[in-house]
């Protein structure tokens, strides 16, 4: 079981972001984990009909199956290592595990036109 599996298991068991789960996330991901926890606590993980989006401070990023369109994921992470995730992908996993995703019954591709 890798580090991501361990903190996801802890979240699944508790269904909330416990101090122990926070410690596991921070141990596994450091600053990326801290950004992810902040985004989840601020309800910035949005689920649309077509995409899951994490709202950052400067932009929004689409996350699909742990793949993200951010520069960190593109340039800094090893896609073959399941423990290397950008903070947007971490936030999506956390939010889904604790049912903290903000659901929108609309297409993100339609919403994005207005942003």
The residue ranges of every structural domain in the chain are 3-112
Tell me what the pLDDT averaged over the chain comes to.
92
- Between 14-18, 48-52, 93-97, 109-113, the lowest mean confidence (pLDDT) is in 109-113
Claim: this prediction has a pTM higher than 0.75: yes
DSSP conformation class of 59: -
Cα 15 to chain centroid distance, Å, stands at 16
pLDDT in tens, 91-111: 999 999 999 999 999 999 887
Please tell me the predicted confidence (pLDDT) of residue 68.
94
CA pair distance 101, 88, nearest whole angstrom: 13
């Amino acid at each position: 079981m890798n580090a991501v599996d361990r903190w996801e298991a802890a979240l699944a068991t508790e269904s909330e972001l416990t101090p122990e789960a926070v410690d596991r996330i921070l141990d596994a991901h450091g600053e990326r984990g801290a950004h992810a926890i902040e985004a989840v606590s601020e309800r910035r993980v949005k689920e649309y009909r077509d995409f899951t989006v994490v709202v950052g401070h400067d932009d929004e990023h689409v996350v699909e199956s742990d793949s993200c369109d951010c520069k960190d994921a593109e340039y800094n992470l090893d896609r073959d290592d399941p423990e290397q995730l950008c903070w947007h992908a971490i936030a999506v996993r956390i939010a889904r595990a604790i049912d903290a995703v903000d659901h929108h019954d609309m297409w993100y591709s339609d919403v994005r036109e207005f942003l």
